[in-house]
């Protein structure tokens, strides 16, 4: 019988500096960050991190020094290697992309032996993303990460491209509460819960996660979507549906952060969705986020997270009240 069968599943830049200018700058040159933030008491040198699923150190280390980021959120790790979904995994949408990769990863043991030590060796602030098909999966990974040098954990209960797992947990506040309560007993590390937007009211699972022991929330994960091949009349993606990300999801992410901040004034929030510039990151901070993660933009421009961070650092020069709040671990609203 499957091990999960009994669990409920599922530098100095100016404000006018352009993307082209940043891309032609030296991203390895020394840069003094002026505007730090704090997330659940953990200091970040700036408010920008990579988003899980779009970051691979072995690839991006040739493009920029990832230790310059506020944090690096690594790709989700599972108890054992996952091959991901077969067939066609990606498609393009209007101002967006759709993926059904299926959380492919080499497993937590490989992560502990290879990826994590390399990131810590360059003094990166690391958020280890945790994936699972069931409660036992999550518990096994968190237990192994508890003794690791990872700075924070991000629990992915929301990815819509896995047949059994995070989707149902992230949309069911009772199942979510049970899972986070169990994980809280396993680890002392700061634990971020990554929420799905594919719910009627995102404040409900947000509250369930916080009341069960989450130290912070990250939102949003991808929206559920699909594309049809009009030549065949069939879905382009073999898995049929996938997670929608990119510029098109920005308004959805901003609204989610605003609503959760209004409902939960004290919880640290990391905003995610459609961020490809310092200006868009700034919108999330004004919506009530403590920090942001850059994801889909890095698929097309590997240096996007660092560019966004430097653009945001310059924008915060002219916004001392917001910058001061972030430095103290507070938010705009």
- Residues known to be catalytic: 159
Residues 209 and 217: beta-carbon distance below 8 Å: yes
How many Cβ atoms are within 10 Å of 332's Cβ, its own excluded? 17
Residues 244 and 197: beta-carbon distance below 8 Å: no
Q: Which residues of 256-284 are buried (b: 16+ CB within 10 A; e: fewer)?
A: bbbbbbeebeebbbbbbbbbbbbebbbbb
Helix (H, G, I), strand (E, B) or coil at 94: coil
Residues 6+ apart with CB under 8 A from 249: 96, 197, 220, 222, 223, 273, 274
| Length of the chain measured in residues | 333
SS3 content of the chain, % helix, strand, coil (to 5): 35, 20, 45
Question: How would you class 162 by CB atoms within 10 Å of its CB: exposed for 0-12, middle for 13-18, buried for 19 or more?
Answer: buried
Rounded Cα distance between 106 and 239, Å, is 21
* Block residue for tokens 């430097």: 310
DSSP designation for 66: G
* Block residue for tokens 């993606």: 237
Rounded Cα distance between 46 and 69, Å, is 7
How many Cβ atoms are within 10 Å of 75's Cβ, its own excluded? 23
């Amino acid at each position: 019988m499957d091990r999960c069968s009994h669990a409920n599943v599922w530098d100095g830049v100016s404000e006018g500096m352009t993307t082209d200018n940043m891309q032609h700058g030296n991203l390895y040159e020394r840069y003094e960050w002026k505007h730090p933030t704090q997330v659940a008491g953990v200091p970040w040198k700036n408010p920008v991190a990579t988003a899980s699923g779009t970051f691979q150190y072995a690839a991006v280390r040739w493009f920029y020094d990832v230790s310059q980021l506020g944090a690096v959120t690594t790709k989700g790790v599972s108890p054992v290697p996952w091959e991901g979904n077969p067939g066609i995994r990606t498609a393009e949408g209007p101002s967006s992309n759709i993926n059904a990769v299926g959380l492919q990863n080499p497993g937590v043991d490989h992560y502990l032996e290879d990826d994590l030590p390399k990131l810590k060796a360059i003094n990166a602030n690391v958020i280890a993303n945790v994936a699972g098909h069931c409660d036992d999966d999550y518990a096994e990974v968190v237990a192994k990460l508890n003794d690791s040098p990872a700075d924070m954990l991000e629990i992915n209960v929301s990815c819509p491209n896995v047949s059994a797992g995070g989707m149902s947990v992230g949309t069911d506040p009772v199942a979510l509460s049970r899972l986070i309560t169990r994980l809280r007993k396993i680890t002392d590390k700061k634990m971020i819960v990554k929420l799905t937007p594919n719910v009627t009211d995102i404040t409900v699972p947000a509250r369930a996660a916080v009341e069960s022991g989450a130290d912070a929330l990250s939102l949003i994960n991808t929206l559920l979507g699909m594309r049809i091949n009009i030549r065949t009349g069939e879905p382009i993606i073999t898995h049929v549906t996938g997670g929608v990300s990119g510029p098109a999801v920005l308004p959805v992410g901003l609204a989610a952060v605003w609503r959760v901040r209004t409902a939960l004034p004290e919880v640290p929030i990391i905003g995610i969705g459609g961020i490809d510039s310092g200006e868009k990151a700034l919108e999330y901070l004004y919506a009530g986020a403590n920090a942001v993660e850059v994801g889909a933009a890095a698929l097309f421009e590997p240096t996007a997270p660092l560019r966004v961070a430097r653009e945001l650092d310059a924008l915060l020069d002219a916004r001392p009240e917001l910058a001061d709040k972030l430095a103290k671990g507070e938010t705009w609203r």
